Structure 1
Amino acid sequence: MGQDDRLRLSSSFGAAAAAYAEHRPDYAQTAVRWALEQPAPGLRVLDLGAGTGKLTATLVALGADVIAVEPDPAMLSELRRSLPAVRALPGSAEEIPLPDTSVDAVLAGNAMHWFDMAVAGPEIARVLAPGGILAGLWNVMDDQDDWVAGLARVSGSAAVGPRDTPASWRTETAGMHLPRTGVAARFGSPEQAGFPHEQRRTADSLVATLATRAGMLVMPEQEREATLGRIRAYLAGRPETADGEFALPMLTCVLRVRALQQDVG
């Protein structure tokens, strides 16, 4: 993805901040615990690209000392509204408004693919304490269920993108780690893992969730409505989703890398 496309897509969420806050899922606690690789209470954690605070809320529930950083003013406003006790700052992965070695872990929920790692990598390394954790988390739909696989086909890449099912997530994120040059060379090898999760949805709320994807938000209105119409028709025709509430099977997938301890000498 080119830089212009990345910026266009990553800046699309503010216009749908309230819908994002209402419809996007939280993160499996088991996944967050694995990402941190240690007990959370008292741990200094930066939620980078925090959006409306979906991951922030999970970290707070686990007892972490959380700082949230988010570049979009509308998303940041939603985060502050829902989590007023959390320290929430404007900033980005490329310009983190924190001192050197000030956090024990940097986590990013459905956000790391928007980072310019050539710039963000050294910034993340700067704010992390030696031995700290960097982890990206993504909620992906579990397409082992036939109806979910069908939904992915009907929705198209704008609604169900290259990181939105387990196999494609693993491939797309395999190389998404810090560059091995300069200060960022202080990181070990990346690890991947997935953890079962689910979101209670109705057909209408699942359509609303998919409508908050970046590819959908930047789509021309006529094309967007046609895509959402196909999704509605598909959900109405499946016994699993036609009536009432159902569970959308998901995984919270994690890409984790640890900052190496600095040599003493």
Structure 2
Amino acid sequence: MTSANEQGDRGGRGQRERRERQEQRERSRQAGSFGAAAGAYERGRPPYPPAASAWLVPDAARTVVDLGAGTGKLTRALRAPGRELVAVEPSDGMRAEFARVLPGIRALAGTAEAIPLPDASADAVVCAQAWHWVDPARAVPEAARVLRPGGRLALVWNSRDESVPWVAELGRLLREYAAAPTEDRQTDRVGAPFGPVERRDFRWRHPMSVPEIVDMVASRSYVITLDPAVRAGLLDRVRALLAAERPGEMPYVTECHRAER
């Protein structure tokens, strides 16, 4: 006979499993949403500061893979004489925009868990704004497979600097409408065969017009997936905030991580 405690434990596990499945479905929906907003992503997302890209990828790297390349914001920062860049991006819409803005760089359909490249074919694998979407249990060995011995895995995020009051207000407004994706960067789950993960942050400011900031907001996964009427209301409030502040630039913190194979 099953005790009340055992039934309660089963019920609790069932609720947790249902909640986890629901959260995973929502994460998958958000992760797959970017293709519909590729133009806004290209117009509104910032580049990466040269100091950050230089810290992420060594000068000697000849073949560099950009995982989850999107529209090539980081790819552009990694260009160097004699270096081959290969973009890997799962979204058809994002790859189409990438091909439009960077027609001379190879862009392949693929994911961090299934990189369409041979073993030991790259000196560096970089992932910008995307490692929090991946399954590290599969993506870590896949990156290691593609890298040559001594190669580097580099992970990077541009984040708005909310130490600036109007930027903090923008963040509060966004959180009022929708929860952002998980804050877990998953950098602590890199592990073997990589060595210790190093981190460095870079603070900088990017000139942006009001329409570009609105596009930046509109290109967030949790905004793309809002009900259209709700999204329109949010963007109207963003425009009102920007009209009052008239910022002209966006302060950023670029968070960089790297590990050697």
Residue 130 of structure 1, aligned match among 127, 140, 149: 149
- 1:95 maps onto 2:114 in alignment: yes
Q: Which amino acid aligns with 1:78?
A: E
Residue 202 of structure 2, aligned match among 179, 191, 195: 195
Residue 49 of structure 2, aligned match among 5, 28, 34: 28
Deviation at 1:133, TM superposition (A): 0.9
Number of residues of Structure 1 aligned to a counterpart in Structure 2 = 240
Between Structure 1 and Structure 2, the one with more helix by share is 2
Q: Paired residue for 1:186? A: 193
User: How has the CA–CA distance of structure 1 residues 162 and 93 changed in structure 2, closer, same or farther, with 3 Å as cutoff?
Assistant: closer
Residue 58 of structure 1, aligned match among 56, 67, 77: 77
Structure showing greater Rg? 2
Deviation at 1:151, TM superposition (A): 1.7
- 1:3 maps onto 2:10 in alignment: no
- Contact kept in structure 2, 1:216 and 1:224, CA below 8 Å: yes
- 1:12 maps onto 2:23 in alignment: no
Whole-angstrom CA distance in 2 between matches of 1:254 and 1:153 = 24
Q: Which amino acid aligns with 1:75?
A: M
Whole-angstrom CA distance in 2 between matches of 1:133 and 1:124 = 9
- Contact kept in structure 2, 1:47 and 1:106, CA below 8 Å: yes
- Contact kept in structure 2, 1:28 and 1:196, CA below 8 Å: no
Deviation at 1:93, TM superposition (A): 0.8
Q: Paired residue for 1:110? A: 129
Whole-angstrom CA distance in 2 between matches of 1:158 and 1:66 = 38
Residue 216 of structure 2, aligned match among 201, 209, 223: 209
Report matched runs for 1:176-255 at 5 Å. Answer: 176-180=187-191, 185-238=192-245, 240-241=246-247, 246-255=248-257
The answer for unaligned runs of 5 or more in structure 1 is 164-168, 260-265
Deviation at 1:92, TM superposition (A): 0.9
Aligned partner of residue 156 in structure 1, secondary structure:
helix
Residue 146 of structure 1, aligned match among 135, 141, 165: 165
The answer for unaligned runs of 5 or more in structure 2 is 1-19
Deviation at 1:158, TM superposition (A): 6.1
User: How has the CA–CA distance of structure 1 residues 89 and 250 changed in structure 2, closer, same or farther, with 3 Å as cutoff?
Assistant: same
Q: Paired residue for 2:8? A: none
Q: Paired residue for 2:59? A: 39
User: How has the CA–CA distance of structure 1 residues 96 and 81 changed in structure 2, closer, same or farther, with 3 Å as cutoff?
Assistant: same
Whole-angstrom CA distance in 1 between matches of 2:162 and 2:48 = 18
Q: Which amino acid aligns with 2:65?
A: L
Q: Which amino acid aligns with 1:250?
A: Y
Deviation at 1:159, TM superposition (A): 7.1
Deviation at 1:177, TM superposition (A): 4.1
User: Over residues 117-140 of structure 1, what are the superposed CA-to-partner deviations in whole Å (9 max), with x where a residue is unaligned?
Assistant: 121111111001111111111111
* Percent pairwise identity: 42
